[in-house]
Amino acid sequence: MSSIAINSSIDLSLPDWLKKCLKGIPANSGEADDERRHSDTALICRAFEFAYHLHQGQFRKSGEPYIYHPVAVAGLLRDLGGSPAMIAAGFLHDVVEDTDITIEEIEERFGPEVRQLVEGVTKLSKINFTSKTESQAENFRRMFLAMAQDIRVIVVKLADRLHNMRTLQYMSEASRRRSAQETRDIFAPLANRLGIWRIKWELEDLAFKYLEPEAFRQMQQHVSEKRTAREEKLAKATEILQERLQQAGIRCLDISGRPKHLYSIYQKMQRQQKEFHEIYDLAALRIIVQTNEECYRALAVVHDAFRPIPGRFKDYIGLPKPNRYQSLHTGVIGLTGRPLEVQIRTMEMHHVAEYGIAAHWKYKETGGSSSSHLTGADEKFTWLRQLLEWQSDLKDAQEYLDSVKDNLFEDDVYVFTPKGDVVPLSPGSTSVDFAYRIHTEVGNHCAGARVNGRMVPLSTRLQNGDIVDIITQKNSHPSLDWLNFVRTSAAKYRIKQWYKRSRREENVARGRELLEKELGKTGFDSLLKSEAMQSVAEKCNYHSVEDLLAGLGYGEITLNLVLNRWREVVKAQQPVTIAPPFLPKESTATTKTPVRSTDSPIVGVEGLVYYLAGCCNPLPGEPIIGVVTRGRGISIHRQGCHNLENVEYERLVPVGWNPAVENSSRPQTYAVNIQIEALDRVGVLKDILSRLSDQGINVRHAQVKTATGQPALMDLGIDIRDRTQLEQVFTQIKKMSDILNIRRVGQIDE
């Protein structure tokens, strides 16, 4: 195999496994050096060479050549037992994003399997997990879809994230905190769900270091101070157990102390409200034997050598965790009277505990990548399949995020069927959740439940070890009340689906009623038939407005989400930009009757209900702004109106006057209230009305207030075409010698 020409000006400290590859020696040189192994080694070397030359001249924040990062990621994947394609993807995971190379070129050079992995990681790299609910939900959907297409994609991403966290000290403070928070909230729980404890614990400790640096330093100091004494105690306990196991004829492959990780100790302190000196089990003894039977025999030896602590035994061999973790856990009183945790497992269980999903790579059995896709037999991916089954049907972002937390971030409780089958459920689940977990029809026809032989309410929370027997009846069906107490997203989804199918007309009517209360009855039928409302339905992933109403009626989508989409559609139709910034506040003034906007004088409300606000009576020629109201459509205000001072920005709609309507042969008039202050003399009102009549101005109403020794105050309501005509009226009236002041009445600074 030809050597790779590396730029001699850069001193690359490559790991030994990669050096062997570059020399043409298989990474696992102790095994048979067959043709396939040479081919795998060639793929890894070509990927490294390609990445090296593409990243040449690029440097990380630390000042190191950028190639160090992909080399580190590839090394982590190799340690996890990744295939040559995964290791190659580790080298190449940044080239599409950071260079001019296309994903098609990756496939041409390295094949479809590497292309799929690189493309998946590239898409995940563009995900930004913001705190905004809808954005975060969409990012989760994209990530789980990528995982479903090839579960190895997320493992490559985890390796990428781990090395970035290891070098996070070179980033800015804001970047460090953002990355650490994402790691704690998303990537560490993902590593836990996939069972990759080796990555999970390090990610948690690194996130802890940057999110709570003072607490992290204190934990380091506390653990360091007690390390010597702790190691001596563990050594003595190890010696005792080795001797006892040997006497019992149990072959112990390994027995060693395992210090607990800093973040796990800190979590325990927070959870139990204890100080560090009150936490005794800072380390655990791990015993590795050959068979499952020897695990239980070893447990008896441990309990004979040390006094067991009641309630501290957990059998994860008989009841594995959802991520396939298996082990026996027990708590005993150690030599000094302090609690000691002991874990007992086989070597295979230990490998799964450390490497999780990586210990089950199907490609090792089949030699292909297709097995990385989810199949019905992949029980370890049940949680992911459940998310994918209904993720496209869950329209509400918060509901989807709740389903993610159910399946990703929480441990399960285990209950039994009457036949003894184990059923994992989310904490707080009820008999209804259990019924739907068994089968959809069992849930739909659930009429009652027995737990441990006793009839209980369907809302009863299930506990570990409960035996649950569901009573079904043909005429029974789901109740909407169930939604108030079911815990799992699967149960909530299937209850809603039943109502969706069986009571569509009722749901449409209920959805219509909910929406009508918000948008108002006037013109509501026309609004439902408008293109704007059809756009709202499509934005909410429904084919028609009727489907949208049905979804709203049975709770598949929330009213707030529909209203948010409607506001987006309204704003998208506006060609007019908002003039100078102002501080809005919701109007409480008397409003006028809403009108439909066919040939509307207002641009930007086509197909929608609107009205001119009575608080400021806007006129053509004046800058205006629309406000989405509750129940009456869009209120049109003059910009600067005092009633807009605290209106949320999301409710504002850019609007403007329609020049075509303004310049028509029969221009529309608008009501304006004015107030005139004049010397109190006989005939002054008559003279003012005469001036208005000369200009063709219609007077709607007039009211005069007088007081002895005070000027007369006259409130007039007049019809005006536009701002220009109003200014002309003011000019003519001001010319009268008796006029002291004239102003427009409206909550705005003139």
| Active-site annotation holds for 97 | yes
3-state SS record for 503-536: CHHHHHHHHHHHHHHHHCCCCHHHHHCCHHHHHH
Q: DSSP per residue over 577-609, as a string?
A: PP-S--------S-BPPPEE-TT-SEET-TTSE
Question: Residue 749: how many CA atoms within 13 Å on its side-chain side?
Answer: 4
Q: DSSP per residue over 29-97, as a string?
A: TTS---HHHHHHHHHHHHHHHHHHHHSTT-B-TTSSBTTHHHHHHHHHHHHTT--HHHHHHHHHTTHHH
One-letter amino acid of 359: A
The structure tokens listed for 623 are: 């800058």
| Active-site annotation holds for 98 | yes
Say which of 34, 97, 278, 304 is annotated catalytic.
97
Question: What gap in Å lies between CA 151 and CA 645, rounded to an integer?
Answer: 51
CA angle 558, 562, 567 (to 5 degrees): 145
Angle between helices 173-182 and 152-166 (to 10 degrees): 150
Question: What gap in Å lies between CA 564 and CA 572, rounded to an integer?
Answer: 12
Determine contact, residues 281/260, Cβ cutoff 8 Å.
yes
Say which of 98, 202, 677, 719 is annotated catalytic.
98
Question: What gap in Å lies between CA 89 and CA 49, rounded to an integer?
Answer: 13
C-alpha distances in Å from residue 136, one per residue of 101, 192, 226, 569: 29, 20, 42, 21
The structure tokens listed for 442 are: 């069992």
Angle between helices 112-125 and 103-110 (to 10 degrees): 150
Catalytic site positions = 97-98
